[in-house]
Amino acid sequence: MTQSIHMRKVYIFLFIGASFLLQLCTTKKKAQNATVATKVTYVTDIQPLVVKHCSPCHIPPQGKKEPLNTYAAMKAEIDNVIESIKKNPGEHGFMPARRAKLSDSTILVFENWKKGGLLEQ
Ligand code: HEC
């Protein structure tokens, strides 16, 4: 009798240990997924940046410059866009015109969008 109570304790102990290990593994996996998931899409990432930094100039009808307010336009212009936002204020073709240079992390979003295959959503 004492033997089986002792065994039950061992089982409970093993069970708790195993659940703890399982928990550890899944938490680690979640953390990894979070860092790997750098999916950049037009709808989630690019469009808000264009609205924030490139309006009104590139958003018709107020904007008279080449429209950048659609997925198709941004996709077609991405190389020009990256080139111009990487320039420095004062350089010919620097964008956003007459404003401060975008932050490195914002520029990186455009570059990662291109790298990731220019996803719409
Ligand atoms: C204050 C108005 C203004 C803002 C804001 C602005 N632009 Fe422009 N953009 C212009 C003007 C003016 C031109 C055309 C004159 C030129 O070529 O320098 C232009 C031209 C461009 C061109 C074409 C360059 C080429 O190859 O001929 C691109 C690409 C561009 N802008 C991207 C952007 C992006 C991306 C943003 C936002 C991050 C932005 N612009 C913000 C005024 C603006």
Could you tell me the distance, in angstroms and rounded to a whole number, from the CA of residue 97 to the centre of ligand 1?
A: 6
Whose C-alpha lies nearest to ligand 1, atom 18? 93
- Give dist(CA 120, CA 44) in Å, integer: 9
100 lines ligand 1 (CB under 6 A): no
Nearest atom of ligand 1 to the alpha carbon of 81 = 29
pLDDT tens-digit series, residues 19-77: 666 676 566 555 554 445 579 999 999 999 999 999 999 999 988 888 999 999 999 99
41 lines ligand 1 (CB under 6 A): no
State yes or no: pLDDT of 91 exceeds 50: yes
pLDDT of residue 34: 47
Nearest atom of ligand 1 to the alpha carbon of 94 = 18
- Give dist(CA 112, CA 41) in Å, integer: 9
- Give dist(CA 41, CA 110) in Å, integer: 10
Looking at 5-19, 53-67, 104-118, which range is the least confident one? 5-19
93 lines ligand 1 (CB under 6 A): yes
* Boundaries of every domain in the chain: 1-37, 42-115
